[in-house]
Structure 1
Amino acid sequence: MDNTYQIKQIETDLEIEQCWEVAFLLRPHLDKNKWLPMISEMMKNEKYIMAGIREQDKFVAFAGYRIMTSLHTGNMIYIDDLCTLESHRGKGFASQLLKYIEAAALAANMDALVLDTNFDNNTAQKVYLKNGFELVAIHLASDLKK
């Protein structure tokens, strides 16, 4: 049995809106009314790209990433977001999306793929390690809205 689902680059407003349920699972602090304008702005000004796996009228998994350059890593794709609906986990969607992004990075002659994950997100960490990622840094942040 073929467990490969078609990955679609997300480009239209309707497709962006169809990712809301998955995005909210990953980012529950987001406001649904600001979702489309925020993503549209990121796509326009920050080289943010979305790809996802759809079943019927909604996306059940998606990844959001951007093309960047840093002194530390060189030319890279930074994966901002990667999530699968809980009802669709265990089907390999995250691994398929990671392979899709890796192929895009290789085609663009990037130096690296980079992402961050929460310390306690062990399930995601296992997926990343299984897909060739290594633990190489600690990401620190300061919440300026406190």
Structure 2
Amino acid sequence: MDNTYQVKLIETDHEIQQCWEVVFLLRPHLNKNNWATMISEMMQHEKYSIAGIMDNGRFVAFAGYRSMTSLHSGNIIYLDDLCTLESYRGKGLASQLLNYVKAVALSEKKDAVVLDTDFTNNTAQKVYLNNGFQLAALHLACPL
């Protein structure tokens, strides 16, 4: 892994907008016109944070996470989003972001970092398992 990559906490509307390329890769259903507003509201009302990694002035990887408490998992950080641009995959950026989120969780005395991933996303599952995550639950949803 190239140690020149630095994780940066994303805080401004401009920085949020700069993440669009990576976000759209993971969440193509989102609308670029309301992306920054949606994230700003999540940051303000839902304890949502974004960390990113830049290279040559552009974000090439990001992680979106939130602090929350649930009866099931306790006092946790829930990792909503993690993505790296395809041309930057295999450089350890996802692991670097996962380590960053785990460090945040430790510093905030959380019980765990929890996430969901698609059943078919074997590449992501391998990254998570190689970074200390364990299969702990089956996530179900009822579309309305």
Tell me the distance in 1 between the aligned counterparts of 2:41 and 2:91.
31
Change (3 A) 1:2 1:19: closer
> What is the Cα deviation at residue 79 of structure 1?
0.1
Which residue number corresponds to residue 74 of structure 1? 74
Q: What do the CA deviations read for 1:124-143 (whole angstroms, capped 9, x no partner)?
A: 00000000000111101111
Change (3 A) 1:24 1:2: closer
- Structure 2 residue runs without a partner (length 5+): none
1:47 aligns with 2:28: no
Paired residues in the alignment total: 144
Tell me the distance in 1 between the aligned counterparts of 2:114 and 2:9.
19
The secondary structure found in structure 1 opposite 2:125 is helix
1:132 aligns with 2:115: no
Matched letter for residue 104 of structure 1: V
Which residue number corresponds to residue 57 of structure 2? 57
> What is the Cα deviation at residue 64 of structure 1?
0.3
Matched letter for residue 31 of structure 2: D
Percent same amino acid among aligned pairs? Answer: 72
- Structure 1 residue runs without a partner (length 5+): none
Please tell me whether the aligned partners of residues 52 and 60 of structure 1 are also in contact (alpha carbons under 8 angstroms): yes
The secondary structure found in structure 2 opposite 1:68 is strand
Which residue number corresponds to residue 122 of structure 1? 122
1:107 aligns with 2:107: yes
> What is the Cα deviation at residue 56 of structure 1?
2.3
Tell me the distance in 2 between the aligned counterparts of 1:44 and 1:79.
17
Tell me the distance in 2 between the aligned counterparts of 1:42 and 1:56.
28
Which residue number corresponds to residue 14 of structure 1? 14
The secondary structure found in structure 1 opposite 2:24 is helix
TM-score (norm 2): 0.97
Q: What do the CA deviations read for 1:35-73 (whole angstroms, capped 9, x no partner)?
A: 010000000000000000011232000000000000111
TM-score (norm 1): 0.96
Change (3 A) 1:81 1:133: same
CA RMSD of aligned residues (A): 1.1
Tell me the distance in 2 between the aligned counterparts of 1:82 and 1:99.
12
Please tell me whether the aligned partners of residues 76 and 105 of structure 1 are also in contact (alpha carbons under 8 angstroms): yes
